[in-house]
Structure 1
Amino acid sequence: MADAKGPDMSTLVQVRDEFCCYTTSDFNHQGLTQAHFTYEEIFELRTYLRHGVRLAPDAVVLDVGANIGLFSLFVKQECPSARVLAFEPMPAVVEALRRNLDLHGVPDVEVHALALGARREEAVFTYHPALSCNSTNRPEGKELLLEMQRVLFGEHAAGSEEVRVDVDTLSAVLERRSDLDRIDLLKIDVEGAELDVLRGVGAANWPRVDQVVVEVHDRDGRLADVLALLGAQGFRTSSQASSLLTESADLREAGAEDVPPGDYLVYATRPR
């Protein structure tokens, strides 16, 4: 399929013979690479359904850091009756997310143009148009990753701009939603702000959460902090290195001398 631009400057790319989606990249190669990686991680490797994590047909799922919506699409493919709330703060990414839901005939995912964190505030995010999955409000520690992107994709791949977005806590969201008496799965992929999201869940709201899968960028002991926080809330936890996210051989071959500290996926379930 030829790449096509929509009026919002999203790019339509063919990921697999049976699957295409909109990306946010102005650089088609980077958008396709990002979509390939995300599709493989979610749909083919089924990364989020491991270590005892499972979805009931009527599951309630919070997709925090939804990006262009592939995890939300996966949940609705697995469980068409599931309720999904997708949280994504970057305006251009939200537009691609909405277009992907429309493209795949999934109109019933709630999209919230909002970041979740430890407190209600307005925050400055660093948005990477070429590789939107790296957008973050925690740019510190991204230097090596950005250098690798330059090596692999060219100087434009590390380009960024600042975007101001609204941040709220998950507890505040839940307290406004009496219809969400349970959260079957809380999925978090927020590029370094994962502890902030978890700390934004008050003690009174944790019993509503049954399972958590969170991507952790292990800087300054963050993995241990995440495991301790979830353990203190009564979860049984396990973690694994995210092999796709930490693969370094291709990067070294391309000329990068160092790789970032490890990235992990943490799985947390209630004892059953």
Structure 2
Amino acid sequence: MLVEWLAHVNGSRIWRQSVRVRDMELLPPTLDRWVALQAHRFGLMGTAEFDFFQSSIRTHWHIADVGANQGLYSVYFSKRAVEGRVYAFEPDPELFTALKGNIERNSAANVTLFNAAVGNQTRKLLLRSGQFNRGDNRIVPGNTSRPGTIDVDAISLDKAIPNLHLDLLKVDVQGFEVEVLRGAKQVIQANHDLLIFLEFWPQGLRNAGSGPEELLDILGKAEFSLFQHGKADKYEPFTYRAPEWSRPAQFCNLVATRRGIAPILNPG
């Protein structure tokens, strides 16, 4: 009973009030997404991410936002890459509606929307929505529907990206990153200067049926160097040591590049 009431409160229309974040006007679909926007508004979340994207993105870039959620980064990317193109992917129907509305609200005409997950091929997947945290939606293994899941369409980046042209790939899919990269082999091969920004969550990767070693192996074989945002706002070389990642909720953001981090943060 309490759980149902809390879910009702989270989805109540009373929270659908626009929030201004970094010159963007965004309308959240739920209470938890409103809280997330307020946290970004007051610098409690996302500061390091925004600083990185501000210093790295060029105006002509083509960018894929995989796990676009309600559109915070998609709208931001559209404003940074004004001469380029943004491809935003979001499988959750309610979040996609919010994403579409926020794109229109901010006149982000250079954004192409996909109401789909991103995987290794075109197919159906199971999505479980985070009941009280829609930032924790997850693709779950298997193909048998179960309570709390819905069927969603999936597409690979190799199929979705025109001419395979991509400069930045941002991925936040709660452990499904390996399948995203498996479906982007041609994109990765075609763009030597491709920059990848992704969440590294070992337990989430295991929950999705892969693992941290598999993710790092894909990036290593593609000759990417990895960097983690560390102390003093610096990006430091990343080395994975399993014993240091024993806590289930432990995660970080990684930057993968073939050019080194200095040319990205300090472009000539």
> After superposition, what is the alpha-carbon deviation per residue over 1:3-57, rounded to whole angstroms, capped at 9, x for unaligned?
xx88xx98224355965411121xx3x2321223455444x4335727x972121
Counterpart residue type for residue 266 of structure 1 = L
SS of residue in 2 equivalent to 1:58 = coil
Aligned partner (choices 212, 222, 243) of residue 223 of structure 1: 212
Confirm or deny that 1:54 pairs with 2:59: no
After superposition, residues 160-179 of structure 1 pair within 5 angstroms as: 161-174=148-161, 177-178=162-163
After superposition, residues 231-242 of structure 1 pair within 5 angstroms as: 231-240=220-229
Q: Which stretch of structure 1 is more off in the superposition, 160-169 or 216-225?
A: 216-225
Aligned partner (choices 177, 181, 184) of residue 201 of structure 1: 184
Report the Cα distance in structure 2 between the residues aligned to 1:260 and 1:191, rounded to whole angstroms: 13
Q: Which runs of 5+ in 1 are unaligned?
A: 140-159, 243-258
Aligned partner (choices 30, 35, 38) of residue 33 of structure 1: 35
Report the Cα distance in structure 1 between the residues aligned to 2:109 and 2:197, rounded to whole angstroms: 24
SS of residue in 1 equivalent to 2:75 = helix
Change (3 A) 1:107 1:67: same
Report the Cα distance in structure 2 between the residues aligned to 1:18 and 1:116, rounded to whole angstroms: 29
Aligned partner (choices 208, 213, 218) of residue 197 of structure 2: 213
Q: CA RMSD in A?
A: 3.1
Report the Cα distance in structure 2 between the residues aligned to 1:265 and 1:122, rounded to whole angstroms: 28
Q: Contact 1:10 / 1:24 at 8 angstroms: preserved in 2?
A: yes
% same residue: 21
- Post-superposition shift, 1:135? 0.8
Map of 1:154 onto structure 2: none
Map of 1:138 onto structure 2: 140
Report the Cα distance in structure 2 between the residues aligned to 1:14 and 1:53, rounded to whole angstroms: 24
SS of residue in 2 equivalent to 1:197 = helix
Aligned partner (choices 30, 48, 53) of residue 45 of structure 1: 48
> After superposition, what is the alpha-carbon deviation per residue over 1:111-157, rounded to whole angstroms, capped at 9, x for unaligned?
01111112332111111354211111138xxxxxxxxxxxxxxxxxx
Counterpart residue type for residue 270 of structure 1 = R
Greater per-residue helix proportion: 2
SS of residue in 1 equivalent to 2:140 = coil
Confirm or deny that 1:23 pairs with 2:5: no
Report the Cα distance in structure 1 between the residues aligned to 2:55 and 2:179, rounded to whole angstroms: 22
SS of residue in 2 equivalent to 1:23 = coil
SS of residue in 2 equivalent to 1:239 = strand
Q: Contact 2:82 / 2:110 at 8 angstroms: preserved in 1?
A: no
Change (3 A) 1:267 1:133: same
Report the Cα distance in structure 2 between the residues aligned to 1:38 and 1:194, rounded to whole angstroms: 24
Counterpart residue type for residue 255 of structure 2 = Y
- Post-superposition shift, 1:172? 2.4
Confirm or deny that 1:14 pairs with 2:19: yes
Change (3 A) 1:18 1:206: closer
Counterpart residue type for residue 201 of structure 1 = A
Q: Contact 2:64 / 2:168 at 8 angstroms: preserved in 1?
A: yes
Q: Which runs of 5+ in 2 are unaligned?
A: 1-11, 142-146, 232-246, 261-268
Counterpart residue type for residue 114 of structure 1 = A
Q: Contact 1:88 / 1:94 at 8 angstroms: preserved in 2?
A: yes
Q: Contact 1:216 / 1:222 at 8 angstroms: preserved in 2?
A: no
Q: Which stretch of structure 1 is more off in the superposition, 10-19 or 206-215?
A: 10-19
SS of residue in 1 equivalent to 2:35 = helix
Change (3 A) 1:231 1:241: same
TM, length-normalised to structure 1: 0.70
TM, length-normalised to structure 2: 0.71
> After superposition, what is the alpha-carbon deviation per residue over 1:213-234, rounded to whole angstroms, capped at 9, x for unaligned?
1112112583343222112102
- Post-superposition shift, 1:79? 2.9
Map of 2:241 onto structure 1: none
Change (3 A) 1:16 1:69: closer
